[in-house]
Structures are given as structure tokens and as C-alpha cells.
Amino acid sequence: MKRLLLLTAITAVVLAAGASFTTAAPRARQEGGAQEQEKLAREAKITKEQAQATALKRAPGNVESAELEREHGRLVWSFDIRNSKGTITEVQVSAITGHIVRVEHENKKKEAAEKRQEGREKRGRRKP
């Protein structure tokens, strides 16, 4: 009887600890991501609006996503711009100089593969 009571108590503690970890872990990752974005924003000399204007001159259309990131050692504003044909052009603008760093045209197949990869990454972030 004492063993059963002890086993029940240990199980309850383990379950409670696991539950608090699974709810705290995603929050910690989100906060870490926000802190990283703040750090990158402090380094940037070009605002998102300035970079977006430059990107839209190079690839007119609707901005579907914008992100400040470090890619290949460079701090860049990355924009996914959908044009009138429905395809996406990714334009990266240096967050330091304001010059275009890279332009990449995505076809439908590449765009679908990228969305699948983003979905996998999001699911991976939710897990403890």
C-alpha cells in the first residue's frame, strides 16, 4: 500500500514537471527569438521601410513576408514579394548599406518545398 502511494506521488510530480516544461519551453524559445530580433534590429542601420522600398523597386508586387536575419554572415532584410504572375521573388537588402544583396526567383515547385520546410520547422519548435 505504501509503495502504491509512493509510486502515485512520484508519477504526479513527474507529470506536473513535464507539463510545466512543455508550456515553458515554447515561451522561452519565442522570447529568445524576440531577443535575437531586438539584437539584430540594434545592429541595422537601414529601417525595414527603407529596405522594403528598395526591394519593391527591384521586384514590384505585394510583400508577403519580411524578416531581419543574418545570412552568410551578412545582416539583411529579406522580403518575399509576389508579382502579378503569382510567383515569388525573394529580395535581400543589406541592413547596413541598403544595397541589394541577392535576388532569387522562386518557381511554384520551389515555393511549395519551402512552405513544407517552414511547416516542419514550426512543428519542431513546438516540441519540447
Per-residue pLDDT tens digits for 11-68: 655 555 554 444 444 444 456 678 888 889 899 999 999 999 999 999 999 999 999 9
Query: Hey, what's the cell of 24?
Result: 515553458
State which residues form the domain around 97.
2-126
CATH (domain of 77):
3.10.450.40
pTM (2 d.p.) = 0.62
pLDDT tens for residues 117-128? 878 877 776 555
Domain count for the chain, please give it. Answer: 1
Classify the C-alpha dihedral 25-31-34-38 as positive or negative.
negative
C-alpha cell belonging to residue 16: 506536473
| 79 beta partners | 66, 91
- Residue position matching grid coordinates 522570447: 31
